[in-house]
Amino acid sequence: MDSMTIIVAVSIITSGLTIAIGGYGPSRGEAEALTKAIETIGRQPESANEITRLLFVGMAMVESVAIYSLVIALIILFANPLLDLVGK
């Protein structure tokens, strides 16, 4: 195997791990936040509007982590600077 093949294989594996780990954490966090919000609304229905608003803001912030990991994985796959170094 030449060095270009090794770098491409490692890049594919790394981007897959980035998406897997970067998607798992936020999905667990969103599920836990949703569970707690539903429990809280069940206990105090009069504050449902405030809890729902805070839930959506928190979920948007958590979801941004998954989007960042997607961007990093795409950079690793399609704009890998190591390929330019080995290709020369």
Model pLDDT for residues 40-75, shown as the tens digit of each residue: 999 999 999 999 999 999 999 989 999 999 999 999
Give the burial class of 25: count Cβ atoms within 10 A of its Cβ; 0-12 exposed, 13-18 middle, 19 or more buried. Answer: middle
pTM for the model: 0.76
C-beta of residue 62 within 8 angstroms of C-beta of residue 29: yes
Model confidence at 87: pLDDT above 80: no
Distance of CA 20 to the CA centre of its chain: 8
**C-beta neighbour count of 33 within 10 angstroms:** 15
- Whole-angstrom distance, CA of residue 45 vs CA of residue 9: 53
Looking up tokens 């919000």 gives 37
C-beta of residue 68 within 8 angstroms of C-beta of residue 22: yes
Model pLDDT for residues 28-46, shown as the tens digit of each residue: 999 999 999 999 999 999 9
